Structure 1
Amino acid sequence: MTDTPDLTGRIALVTGASRGIGYFIARQMAAAGAHVIAVARTVGGLEELDDEIKAERARTGKGEATLVPLDLTDMTGIDRLGGAIHERWGKLDVLVANAGVLGVIGPLAHIEAKVFDKVMAVNVTGTWRLIRTVDPLLRLSEAGRAIIMSSGAAHSARAYWGPYAASKAAVEAMARSWADETKNTSLKIAIVNPGATRTAMRAQAMPGEDPATLPHPSEIATRIVPLAGAALAHTGLIFDARADAFQRYRMPD
């Protein structure tokens, strides 16, 4: 999945678009011709993204952005966003559910309730609310695509990563159920494990790690963007961005 698809005329919603992997996914999708609905809490990061997309459009004539400052704990705000997309465009072609928070790395029994609740609210409930909001819009597309960001933490369940690991396991379960529900439609759903990447979240989780040893988020985004193309045939599988390949689940006998 290395060829950048032509996204001319496609409407793509990207959450967590103000920095990291989401920022570069939004930039690259716009460069491929999409109109990107860029969602994030940080207005400054969204404005920087908009400047980059406008500069690219001036050079190539491709790509546009609509900026949506929104916290994914604002559930009614997510609902309003779906209504606004329907009113303006009548459909959605691509969802990239990328936004997420790490919480705190520490013993599960020591995590404060408010920290746990926020991780679940943003990573799980916010993602579910997005799915609920955009499902009918994606079904109106001739080739709807949903890219749901997960993490290897969902499977490793390593010590001290409990809230984040649990949230990503829940996100994967929702995405797989959604994929099974829509398997007889044109909507395809990819679950993405980006792997260790040079992001602020990774630095928060692993403060002693040398970031120079990790791939830049733009490199990981380049491997993810092709999942938005009409050529995607799989649904409900994990895409390992570092390996640039899909993984199939081993189902029980």
Structure 2
Amino acid sequence: MSRLAGRIALITGASRGIGAAVAKRFAAEGAHVILTARTSGGLEETDDAIRTATGQSATLVPLDLRKFDQIDQLGQAVFDRFRRLDIIVGNAGVLEALGPVAQYDPKHWQRIFDVNVTANFRLIRSFDRLLRASDAGRAVFVTSGAATAPYPYWGAYAASKAALEMMVRTYAMEIARSPLKVNLVDPGVVATRLRAQGFPGEDQSRLTPPEAVTDAFVDLADPACTRHGEVVRVQE
């Protein structure tokens, strides 16, 4: 039997990269996936791939995560339709620009924290009760090695991922007595658009493809998963 059969999963940043790969894998494992991203076209491409592979359709929600009230509206919509959420994957993230901390553009700094930290806080705030309504709620957030390994000019992104890790691990401690399991995944070096933005001269054909890191997400989304409050590193 498929490991996620009958589960309802919400995935952010699902129009490409890791988010799209996880969406396709979850659907192949039997989940009904709710996909969000800013671009409708990318979401439709992911949905087309899911339909071709499984014969099932995803629920598509074009959404700018910086518009925080829309996250609350999405939470209400999921409650109205499904009455629960089994899995949430906070995958969406942005790099914006690299630069020295002392000279970094405050607008870019704010945009990074809005998506990488505050949007995930709002997701937790909006979907906590729906995840608790599941018999085996699972929350997975995507982090980066940058959270613990300082690198020149990556300060804003690194600080946002460090903040995300602390927030999620604290949340995990607070709900430790519930059936809900909360973890983070560091996928390592993966061929994504964000990676290409940070390393524009890199040959992405030599990097790990997004599809190769989806096992970790399925493991953490599985109702049988017992891991909690951890940072799971796919590539050591």
Gaps of 5+ in 2: none
Residue of structure 2 in register with 1:33 after alignment? 30
Indicate conservation of the 8 Å contact 1:5/1:226, yes or no: no
Q: Offset of 1:5 from its aligned partner?
A: 5.5
Q: CA offset at residue 227 of structure 1? A: 1.2
Matches within 5 A, 1:1-253: 6-58=3-55, 63-243=56-236
Determine the C-alpha separation between the residues in 2 that align with 1:160 and 1:130: 28
Q: Which residue type is aligned with residue 189 of structure 2?
A: A
1:164-223 deviation digits (Å, cap 9, x = unpaired) = 000000100110011001111100011111111001110110112221221001111233
Secondary structure class of the residue paired with 2:85: coil
Checking the alignment, whether the CA contact within 8 Å between 1:149 and 1:193 is kept in structure 2 is: yes
Give secondary structure in 2 for the equivalent of 1:156: coil
Q: Distance in 1 between matches of 2:115 and 2:7?
A: 26
Residue identity over aligned pairs, in percent, reads 49
* Alpha-carbon distance between aligned partners in 1 of 2:83 and 2:207, rounded to the nearest angstrom: 40
Scaled by the length of structure 2, the TM-score of the pair is 0.97
Asked whether the equivalents of residues 179 and 188 of structure 1 are also in contact (C-alpha less than 8 Å), the reply is yes
Distance 2:189 2:98 in 1: 16
Read off the aligned partner of 1:111 and give its amino acid letter. Answer: Y
1:24 partner amino acid: A
Amino acid at match of 1:225: V
Number of equivalenced pairs? 236
RMSD value, Cα: 1.2
Aligned equivalents of 1:209, 1:156: Cα separation in 2: 20
Give the secondary structure class of the aligned counterpart of 1:37.
Answer: strand
Tell me the secondary structure at the aligned position of residue 39 of structure 1: strand
Structure 1: runs of 5 or more not aligned: 244-253
SS at match of 1:36: strand
Contact 2:2–2:30 (CA under 8 A) maintained in structure 1: no
Find the aligned partners of 1:52 and 1:144 in 2 and give their Cα distance.
Answer: 26
One-letter amino acid matched to 1:11: I
Amino acid of the residue matched to residue 209 of structure 1? E
